[in-house]
Amino acid sequence: MPHRSSRRFFLRSSGVNLALPFLDSIPARILGSGLAVTALTPAATEKQRPVRLVCIGNALGFYPPAFFPQRTGKDYELPSLLQPLAPHRGDLTIYSGLDHGVTGGHFAIHSFLSGVRANDAKGMPEGNITVDQRAAETIGGVTRFPALTVGSEDGIHGGCMMSWSRSGTRVPPIQNPRELFRKLFVDEAAADVEKTKDQLSLQGSILDSVRADARSLKNQLGKRDQQKLDEYFTSVRDVERGIELRRQWVQVPKPKPGMKEPVNAGLVNDIPVLYDLIALALQTDSTRIATFEIAGGFEASVLGVRKEYHALSHHGQVQESIDLLLKLERYQMEQFARFLAKLKSIEDGDGNLLQHSMVLFGSGMGNGNSHTNRNLPIVLAGGGFRHGEHQSFPQNGAGRTQLCNLFLSMLHRFGVQVPRFGLSTGTLRGLELA
């Protein structure tokens, strides 16, 4: 049917893919009209005190004996991997015993920030939305970018896959410093701005034009298909939200970064530059939420290691392999420590940027050698919390604590007053404001 085919092509060619799921309740002849949802209402208003959220994770975890302190409380000794964090000891908390109770090894690391594996998402009220994206839903148009996802796609099983939307869609990372720099700080040419405005107007008119179709279509569906359509509505809301936010910022000049455009030098050498750009994004209030994924395939040879990172994570208790693995992990910890120092050096109102930024560091992999997702390596820095301790939680039995409890506390600190997140059973005990 010509009308149906041209409408579907029109939607795709305008940058909005609104192809419907297959529905059993109605004939195929009426499925070509597309649909949309009600217009986006700004989700948040400007707050006097901006709180930031940064989540950093890698794909392979950290060697547990060199990460977790032996003693709890304030008098713990820093294991070898944590020694680069010594200057920031009073600004962070080390956690042991927290995880999501999931299994799957490499295929479960994507649950790090959600507590929910992608294939289990349909059974959860909010799917497998991650803590960064849940916080970003409340930002509205306060910042140019509600959230930034940064990192590398290479490595084991496509990277960390840390950030997921409410609709179950993975948020792909910005993969290199040059791309991130241009996104944050390079304005479009005037002709491109007008082209973008026209495209956004066209996309918005398409969404507007099919609202009536959506209402009438839903009345014709059975219960199962209505559920499918509700899930589809969630995806369309994401499209509509993006259009509205881009429309708001398209003519606002981007800030001047005070640095030259970086060159891409491979993930190992890019890591400190990406950290610097994230700090600049927070400092310029371009965003208040960022995630940084460090995949398992970065070039170990750059650090003088001639064995592949993933292979070293399966060290088999061979000391030579463990020593090489620790060299790669130590580098990551040194760059994290450098990032904390950078945030502390930036004045931010009545304090510094770290004091007003919650920085989560860890992995969805607990032990790469045994492929377990239990007892995840977790560090929380800044955010105005009382720090300086190693807090350990029981890993089994009735006293076991969900990592999502920490995420719920972080959401509350961000201003998202929700009763639960993921598999949380409450906020995390022992986490208090300074």
C-beta of residue 58 within 8 angstroms of C-beta of residue 298 = no
Structure-block tokens of residue 255:
């800030």
Torsion of CA 358, 363, 366, 369, to 10 degrees: -150
Residues recorded for the chain: 434
Q: How far apart are CA 65 and CA 62, in angstroms?
A: 9
Separation of alpha carbons 156 and 17, rounded Å: 30
Q: For domain 43-186+262-414, which architecture applies?
A: 3-Layer(aba) Sandwich (3.40)
Q: Can you read off the two tokens belonging to residue 381?
A: 């820095």
39 backbone dihedrals φ, ψ, rounded to 5°: -65, 150
Output the CA–CA distances (angstroms, integers) from residue 61 to 152, 386, 395, in the order listed. Answer: 16, 26, 18
Phi, psi of 92 (to 5 degrees): -145, 165
Domains of the chain, residue spans:
43-186+262-414, 189-253
What are the distances in angstroms from CA 366 to CA 106, 216, 360, 416? 10, 49, 15, 28
Mean pLDDT of successive 10-residue stretches along the chain, which has 434 residues: 37 41 41 29 46 96 97 97 98 98 93 95 92 92 92 66 92 93 83 52 52 61 67 60 64 88 93 97 96 85 91 95 97 98 94 97 96 96 98 91 98 96 96 94
Rounded Cα distance between 304 and 318, Å, is 19
d(CA 180, CA 178): 5
CA angle 59, 62, 65 (to 5 degrees): 160
Q: What pLDDT score does 1 carry?
A: 39
Report residue 279: phi and psi, to 5°.
-60, -40
Phi, psi angle pair for 148, to nearest 5°: -120, 135
Look at strands 52-58 and 390-392 and give their pairing.
unpaired
Nearest 5°: CA angle at 341, between 335 and 344? Answer: 145
